[in-house]
Structure 1
Amino acid sequence: MADDPDAPTIRSREWRQDADYVERRPKTPVSLRLDTDIVEHFKAQGPGYQTRINAVLRKF
């Protein structure tokens, strides 16, 4: 971020004011078959794809 001229300067305490608290919930392991293109779409967005899938399911 230090090398990115477009990145805003954020002081260590400021980010907490805008952060949303997300309560951690216990996870239940499941075996789920999804279409390959769906999994590839979420994986292409980087690490945390299972968390993003979970968020989409929760929103739905």
Structure 2
Amino acid sequence: MTASKHDTAPAWVDPDDAPELDDEWFERADIHENGRLVQRGRPPVAHPKQRVTLRLDEDIASALRASGRGWQTRVNQALREWIEKGAG
């Protein structure tokens, strides 16, 4: 047969046969405010960070990691200060 086969489910017409609105349904629902879709998750940042590969001496990398959480942020800030001083 050359005719394409389409799934033709019967149209839903009985409002008393509506699916139950449980917690799962509401969790998956899209939220709208003033006609606009509210996106879930973090909003995009104005100036996103860029992933780079940087080769450092082993002792330098170990010392930075040993300084604790936020070491990459501190390296970023130190490089920013160095560039702003005009040392670049």
Category of TM-score, reference length = shorter chain: 0.5 to 0.7
Per residue, is there more strand in 1 or in 2? 2
Aligned twin of 1:38: 60
Superposition map of 1:1-60 within 5 A = 25-60=47-82
Q: Would the aligned equivalents of 1:42 and 1:49 in 2 still touch at CA under 8 Å?
A: yes
Separation (CA, whole Å) in 2 of partners of 1:46 and 1:25: 25
Tell me the secondary structure at the aligned position of residue 29 of structure 1.
coil
In structure 2, the gaps of 5 or more residues are: 1-45, 83-88
How far apart are the structure 2 equivalents of 1:50 and 1:37? 15
| TM-score calculated relative to the size of structure 2 | 0.38
Unaligned runs of 5+ in 1: 1-23
User: Could you tell me which amino acid in structure 2 is paired with residue 36 of structure 1?
Assistant: E
Higher Cα Rg: structure 1 or 2?
2
Q: Deviations over 1:19-57 (max 9, x none)?
A: xxxxx8410011111111111111111111111111111
2:59, 2:47 → 1: CA distance? 28
Q: Identity across aligned pairs (percent)?
A: 49
Q: Where does residue 3 of structure 1 map in the other structure?
A: none
Count how many residue pairs are aligned between Structure 1 and Structure 2. Answer: 37
Q: CA RMSD in A?
A: 1.6
